[in-house]
Structure 1
Amino acid sequence: MNLKKALLGLALFSCSSLALAKTFVFTAIPDQDERALNERFGKVAHYLQEQLGVDVRYIPVKSYPAAVSAFRNNQVQLAWFGGLTGVQARQLVPGSQALAQGKEDTAFTSYIIANTSTGLMPSKDFPDAIKGLSFTFGSKGSTSGRLMPEYYIRDHFHQAPEQVFSRVGFSGDHSRTIALVQSGAYQVGAVNYSVWEEEKAKGQVDTSKVRVLWTTPSYPDYQWTARGDLDKQFGAGFTAKVKKALLGMTDPKLLAAFPRSGFVPAANSDYAPVEAVAKAIGIMDDGK
């Protein structure tokens, strides 16, 4: 009997050791240039490793769909998603949970920006005069750079963007959207307000060449989403431990990299409005 207990204990210890030896991997949607993302999430990986007591690694991805695919295929177990990519990922991996969101993500906004050569000026009303100009979104999978701006464009003009504008593009990320509109390659564009403010603070926005025309109503956006099988992979209680670590991220240097003032709890149900808009404009359907 004692021998059986000893063998059972050894087996449990071995399983526990394997779990501890497993690397916890996370990624993030590429909403800015890769250098900025590597710097930001390298610091986050170090912080999570200290808090979780396991090896933690950040891996970059080249596109928003690639982030969702990596999550679906268990190449990553945690991801910093936008509202839309989070909804898509959780649909593909049943049981997955939105754990935490930035305080600012509970009421996020997008900016419609324009090259100053258009002569368009800021307004509280939707800028009707953008019709007929060239327009760039961010990534096709971006909540703030595509989904919500497209919703308000369709709602105002009762037409698809391709019918509203002379030319429609997808820049790939918010930093590039700003650069394209600032250079005049596109006359108008849609950008994440947070990236705009961050780039402006760094001196990357020339307000003599590009300006904000309009701000969307608020909506829920970025969040940390974890796979539903974290506890199975890393041991009982690991999901709760990850959530606690994310909510406990209070170092100003870490927060400034996002930039966020802090993190608050998130739930899958918080993103029901994003899912509804995605279905309403045909980006998602009920079968996905």
Structure 2
Amino acid sequence: MRRFIMLALLALVIALPAKADVFVFTAIPDQDESRLQERFDAVGDYLADALEVEVRYVPVKSYAAAVSAFRNNQVQLAWFGGLTGLQARARVPGSEALARGAEDEGFRSYFIANSSTGLEPSEQLDEALRDRTFTFSSRVSTSGRLMPEFHLRERFGESPDDIFARVGYSGNHSRTLRLVESGSYEVGVLNYAVWERELAAGNIDTEAVQVIWETPGYLNYQWSIRGDVDQRFGEGFTEQVREALLGMDDPDLLERFPRREFVPVTNEDYEELGETARAIGLID
């Protein structure tokens, strides 16, 4: 009898389907953590339905941690900025940029100043920026470091450390806004979308801080996927993820980014950005 029971249990185990891998994704922590959690939990629900696999969003504490998680296969998909995407894909052979927001071509950075400086909006970076205290966001942010530093070097012919009295790195765009608004730093730079969203919500004291210059447009954010996901999740899975991202048309989901829609993008589209990063020594 015992043998019969054991054989029956074994047959039942064999008949049960194997548990599928969990598809895990992350995003650079470019703004308030709670806001990102709400956004990407909703994206995870959408992807789980579209891909018919278990999907989990895993937050990280820094831009570098997002790149490391991608490299170490702790996540298979990530919402990166332009620079972090370049770094991550370079570390995992065969990885691809899949989709970007319609607004991510022609993305911009805003230089902002506390009103105590007397700095006013200008058509170029003003010489009066010299010897101010200044904060970027993350050290590897495209909109909060790479492109602003490129324009600073082009304008002044010097590094930020030589231009400003003190240079800081706030960690994310939301924090940059608050540091300059409070006067902790006289000047800073952040991605325009964070400023515009907070302004529309009435969350900026415009008596204390204003935009003084905006960069020309450049290519920025994108979804990138590891090059080995088809081996793990099945042939054609990369293409399924691409189609799911491009088909994300729920108004609430798009508003959370905010993006009008997602459009196709390739690794080659970011080559010019890579040349800029190499020119100022942010990547090899």
Q: TM-score, normalised by structure 2?
A: 0.93
1:112 matches 2:122 = no
Question: Runs of 4 or more off by more than 3 Å in structure 1?
Answer: none
CA contact (8 A) 1:127 1:213 kept: no
Deviation by residue 1:98-129 (Cα, 9 ceiling, x = unmatched): 00000000111101100011111112222221
Is 1:141 the counterpart of 2:140? The answer is yes
Map of 2:60 onto structure 1: 61
Give RMSD over aligned pairs.
1.0
Q: What residue number does 1:161 align with?
A: 160
1:249 counterpart = 2:217: no
Partner of 2:4: none
Structure 2 runs not aligned, ≥5 long = 1-13
Q: Supply the distance in 1 between the matched residues of 2:145 and 2:126 (Cα, whole angstroms).
A: 17
* Partner residue, 1:278: 277
Q: Report the AA paired with residue 33 of structure 1.
A: D
**1:277 Cα deviation (Å)?**
1.1
Larger Rg: 2
Q: Work out whether 1:232 is the aligned partner of 2:249.
A: no
Tell me, in whole angstroms, the C-alpha distance in 2 between the residues paired with 1:155 and 1:24. Answer: 42
Q: Quick one: percent identity of the two aligned structures?
A: 60
SS at match of 2:120: coil
- Structure 1 residue identity aligned to 2:119: L
1:44-81: CA deviation from partner (whole Å, max 9, x where unpaired): 00000000000000000000000000000000000000
Q: Match of 1:60, SS?
A: coil
The residue aligned with 1:77 is 76
1:176 Cα offset (Å): 0.1
The TM-score, its normalising length taken from structure 1, stands at 0.92
2:265 corresponds to: 266
Structure 1 runs not aligned, ≥5 long? 1-13
Which residue of 1 is the match for residue 10 of structure 2? none
1:127 aligned to 2:110?
A: no
Cα deviation, residue 235, structure 1:
0.3
Give SS of 1:100's match.
strand
Matches within 5 A, 1:201-220: 201-220=200-219
Give yes or no for contact 1:24–1:77 (8 Å, CA) kept in 2.
Answer: yes
In structure 2, what is the equivalent of residue 8 of structure 1?
Answer: none
Aligned to 1:29: 28
| Number of residues of Structure 1 aligned to a counterpart in Structure 2 | 269
